[in-house]
Amino acid sequence: MRKKLLFTLIIACFWPLIVLADFNPTAYYTIDGEEMESTDMIADAQAPLTVRFAANPTETEGDVGYEWRFTREGEEKPFMTRYEETTTYEFKQSGMTKVELYVTMAGYDEAELTATFSISITNSMLEMPNAFSPNGDGVNDIYKAKENHKSIVEFHAYIFNRWGQKIYDWTDINGGWDGTWNGKDVKDGTYYVLVKAKGADGINYEIKKDVNVLRKYLLEQ
């Protein structure tokens, strides 16, 4: 009777350490203003890409430990490990990154692999047009990087007039010049653009070229 009681007490003492849990790991991100989510892969995304990884536990009882391991393709060891239920990371390097979620539950000795995400960031691309027509017709009114740009993590563009005077600059890859200086339209003619940028693949861009302001023409970028 004493042995049975002792066994019952031991079970009663250790039972609270056992964890009952279920998880729905999900990656949340935004592309072109659209909120998206994935449970396994984000393919051919552009840098910089901010992703929020959430373990999304349900029906948990007891202590749970989280371990997010970030490993680049071709490498064996993670370059970063985070210990939180939800973690956010900005991907700025091209290539494939594997993100694994390991969960440790009270009453168990080893961490269990719960989810694996594959994040693919494209190589960079950057081109600038040589002309635009800021005439207010809604077509090519802004001088900016061509729409095919990819994975540019640093960007700075400068516009100069024929005398080498800087008349405009911008640092947003999606921004641009509207053909004005000090609030007034510049004259049609040739100006000069200098772009210094860096891609997620480590490529450094230095683009120097003429920019033609042609308000009387409809141009294609």
Q: Which residues, 6+ apart, have CB-to-CB distance to 83 below 8 Å?
A: 65, 66, 67, 68
pTM: 0.81
Give strand pairing partners of 70: 80, 99
- Find the mean pLDDT for residues 85-99: 97
- What's the rounded Cα separation, in Å, for the pair 99 and 40? 9
Residue where a domain stops, chosen among 73, 91, 121: 121
CA–CA dist 69, 138 (Å, integer): 47
pLDDT tens column, 12-61: 344 444 445 689 999 999 998 999 999 999 999 999 999 999 999 987 66
Average pLDDT score over residue span 149-164: 97
* pLDDT given for residue 217 in this prediction: 60
Domain check: are 110 and 66 in the same one?
Answer: yes
Separation between Cα atoms, residue 10 and residue 59, nearest integer Å: 25
Could you tell me if residue 54 is inside a domain? yes
- Residue 4: predicted pLDDT: 33
CB 199 within 8 A of CB 94: yes
Q: Is residue 220 part of a domain?
A: no
| CATH number, position 188 | 2.60.40
107 vs 158 pLDDT, higher one: 158
Residue numbers of the domain that contains 192: 131-213
* Number of domain units in the chain: 2
Residue type, 17: L
Are 87 and 137 members of one domain?
Answer: no
Element (H, E) at 184: strand 184-185
CA-to-CA separations, 154 to 56, 129, 199, 201, in angstroms, rounded: 33, 19, 7, 12
Whole-angstrom Cα distance, residue 20 to residue 64?
10
Same domain, residue pair 57 and 97: yes
Confidence category of residue 11, pLDDT binned at 50, 70, 90 = very low
% the chain with pLDDT above 70: 87
- What is the average pLDDT across 83-87? 97
CA angle (152 as vertex; 151, 153 as ends), nearest 5 = 110
4 within domain boundaries: no
Statement to judge: residues 116 and 139 lie in one domain: no
